[in-house]
Amino acid sequence: MKICIIGAGSPYTPELIEELSKMPDKLPVTEICLMDINETRLEIMHSFCLRYIKTLNFNVTITSTTNRQEAIQGCTFVNTQIRVGGNEARIIDERTCLDLELVGQETTGAGGFMKALRTIPVMLDIARDVEKLAPNAWIINYTNPTGLVAEAVMKNTKAKIAGLCAGGMFARGWSSEALGCAKEDVQFNLAGLNHMNFSYNITIKGRPISKEEFNKIAPKVGSVDAELIKELGALPSPYLQYYYHEKNKVKEMQPKSRGEEIAEIEAELFKDFADPEITNKPESLKKRGGGGYSEIAMAVMDAIYNNKDTWIAVNTFNQNTLPFLPTDAVIEVPCIVNAAGITPLAQAPPPKATWGLISAVKNYETLAVEAAVTGCEDTAFLALLAHPLVRDYEKAKVLVKSIAHGKGEKNG
């Protein structure tokens, strides 16, 4: 089996290598092809991974290339984790938003919109290459904003894609930590979108948890006030902090955006990756955050390759799962994944207090995907106007003008 990692210069690549090394019987990979357009980062990561597989005692061939078509050719799975424009573009996005006193975040609000405009056209190119060169392959996507990317690919190509995010499964970890149960014993309803979802009706081995148990879990979310969560009766994605605590978050971000922090962390990280004496994941990787996604990726790949029914949260078409959204809207929802593909599971209605926010953000997302695919400036404006974290006419006009003139779209 050959798989490729597009965007392999990402510091998350070693996680994928490590998880693959744990399951040679389930995923008998013989070649991992690393692909990136940044030759310096690709060379550093390739050299590190060659050292790392020796540490892991992982018998696999690791190749690298800057040619995307070469990487995709003959693959069973195409893992995508790209950042179009790099951290430099992310910093511009976030600072552009913060200058307007808007949330400056890479997937949420106007910053996520600018990232989507850069990213979706490139992901569509990748999907079309997969259609031609590896038509039976699955794209295992972690490129953000993953929900918008999945919707664009699913509506505009025939490529098979699993839009993934570790966040959709966070309720398992929170429940396990709070109640002392095994993660695999926890199931729940999940309603919403990527980075805009709510977990509720939690069960442990099929037993519904009590209100007292839910109240023990609520503080584990951390980024959203626990009393608010208890009122909602559902565990929100950590990204709901930008909606429920908007003014405080904008104020917190002003001195230094997350993109600026990440640029500093990755400078240290790649010094470590380049050190020939380092043969294991460097300690500096813990500062990067956002880990854990590799376990979800491997679970989906295992389910598809081995036709193993697996319950997992995936971004896929609604298909009446949430009746207050269009059937072709891409939502994040528990699914059964196997060789036949991804089947969303029916969910009990989420708490009424969540419907409006989910619907509003989905309205924005639909317009954002259309703007990214068509390049229509008017649609871009309407997308920003629809977003609950923008809404403001004058600010939306300023943002569209800055995007049209290249600010926030550097290296796009």
Q: What is the pLDDT of residue 370?
A: 98
Q: Are 217 and 179 in contact (CB under 8 A)?
A: yes
Q: What CATH fold (topology level) applies to the domain 2-163+257-288?
A: Rossmann fold (3.40.50)
Q: Report the 3 state secondary structure along 18-34.
A: HHHHCCCCCCCCCEEEE
What whole-number distance in Å separates Cα of residue 225 and Cα of residue 218?
9
What are the residues facing 236 on neighbouring strands?
Answer: 198
Query: Which tens digit of pLDDT belongs to each residue from 127-166?
Result: 999 999 999 999 999 999 999 999 999 999 999 999 999 9
What whole-number distance in Å separates Cα of residue 346 and Cα of residue 48?
44
**3-class secondary-structure state, position 170:** helix
Q: What is the pLDDT of residue 412?
A: 33
Distances (CA, A) of 112 to 120, 144, 260, 308: 12, 8, 16, 34
Q: Among 174, 183, 314, which residue's Cα sits nearest to residue 234?
A: 174
Q: What is the pLDDT of residue 257?
A: 87
Q: Among 191, 194, 175, which residue's Cα sits nearest to residue 183?
A: 175
Q: Are 2 and 33 in contact (CB under 8 A)?
A: yes
Q: Where are the domains of the chain?
A: 2-163+257-288
pLDDT tens, residue order, the chain (412 aa): 999 999 999 999 999 999 999 999 999 999 999 999 999 999 999 999 999 999 999 999 999 999 999 999 999 999 999 999 999 999 999 999 999 999 999 999 999 999 999 999 999 999 999 999 999 999 999 999 999 999 999 999 999 999 999 999 999 999 999 999 999 999 999 999 999 999 999 999 999 999 999 999 999 999 999 999 999 999 999 999 999 999 999 999 998 888 999 999 999 999 999 999 999 999 888 878 666 789 999 999 999 999 999 999 999 999 999 999 999 999 999 999 999 999 999 999 999 999 999 999 999 999 999 999 999 999 999 999 999 999 999 999 999 998 877 644 433 3
Q: Among 338, 339, 358, which residue's Cα sits nearest to residue 347?
A: 358
Q: What is the pLDDT of residue 406?
A: 66
Q: What is the pLDDT of residue 133?
A: 98
Q: What is the pLDDT of residue 283?
A: 86
What whole-number distance in Å separates Cα of residue 354 and Cα of residue 296?
26
What are 245's two structure tokens?
A: 């605590």
User: Who's near 321: CB < 8 A, 6+ residues apart?
Assistant: 331, 333, 344, 345, 346, 347
Q: What is the pLDDT of residue 409?
A: 42
Active-site residues, by number, are 239
